[in-house]
């Protein structure tokens, strides 16, 4: 069952998206970065997952690089996890990638982020390469890729 509606974000969502970001990451994106993106959505797409009462339960960010789309961010509030919210966001990003004519989606994930790695594996991502010391705190990133269309939505009711 779909518990959220997926929609595009705008600058009016800035404060809530920043709150979601801070609730989800030890090293959240800076507010000014979100603000800058949302003021000029030329190169990126922000999608939000809106639950009952208008609550933004999660959001994600996608950009385009030639024939690849690139998932820049994905975050779901702790109290909304394991309900298919991230999967719904990825269905939206899958559709946008197809519209862009992309053959592949790429992303980086922390080596230590087993939950996210399990999530991405389930929807079709596999290992491509490793970026040593990619994050500001020195942690390595796994570079994952998946063919478009993603294997997402198959298990959602």
Ligand X SMILES: CC(C)(COP(=O)(O)OP(=O)(O)OC[C@H]1O[C@@H](n2cnc3c(N)ncnc32)[C@H](O)[C@@H]1OP(=O)(O)O)[C@@H](O)C(=O)NCCC(=O)NCCS
Part of the chain binding ligand X (CB under 6 A), chosen from 34-42, 62-70, 108-116, 127-135: 108-116
Cβ pair 136, 27 in contact under 8 A: yes
Cβ pair 77, 21 in contact under 8 A: no
Output DSSP code: residue 128. Answer: E
Cβ pair 93, 69 in contact under 8 A: yes
Q: Which is nearer to ligand X, 14 or 51 (CB)?
A: 51
- Calpha distance 55→34 (Å, rounded): 18
Q: Print the binding letters for residues 16-55 with ligand X: x by CB under 6 A, - otherwise.
A: --------x-------------------------------
- Which of 151, 41, 148 has the alpha carbon at shortest distance from 95? 148
CB of 156 to ligand X, least distance (A): 8
Q: Is 81 in the site for ligand X (CB under 6 A)?
A: yes
Q: Which is nearer to ligand X, 39 or 50 (CB)?
A: 50
Binding residues (CB under 6 A) for ligand X: these are 24, 74-76, 81-87, 109, 113, 115-116, 118-119, 122, 155
């Amino acid at each position: 069952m779909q518990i959220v509606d997926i929609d595009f974000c705008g600058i009016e969502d800035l404060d809530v998206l920043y709150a979601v970001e801070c609730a989800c990451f030890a090293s959240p994106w800076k507010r000014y970065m979100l603000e800058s993106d949302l003021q000029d959505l030329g190169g990126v797409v922000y999608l939000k997952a809106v639950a009952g009462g208008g609550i933004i339960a999660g959001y994600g960010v996608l950009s385009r690089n030639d024939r690849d789309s690139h998932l820049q961010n994905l975050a779901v509030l702790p109290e909304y996890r394991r309900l298919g919210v991230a999967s719904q966001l990825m269905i939206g990003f899958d559709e946008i990638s197809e519209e862009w004519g992309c053959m592949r989606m790429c992303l980086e994930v922390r080596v230590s982020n087993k939950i996210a790695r399990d999530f991405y594996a389930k929807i079709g991502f596999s290992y491509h390469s490793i970026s040593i010391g990619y994050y500001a705190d020195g942690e390595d990133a796994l570079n994952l890729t998946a063919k478009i269309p993603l294997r997402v939505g198959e298990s959602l009711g």
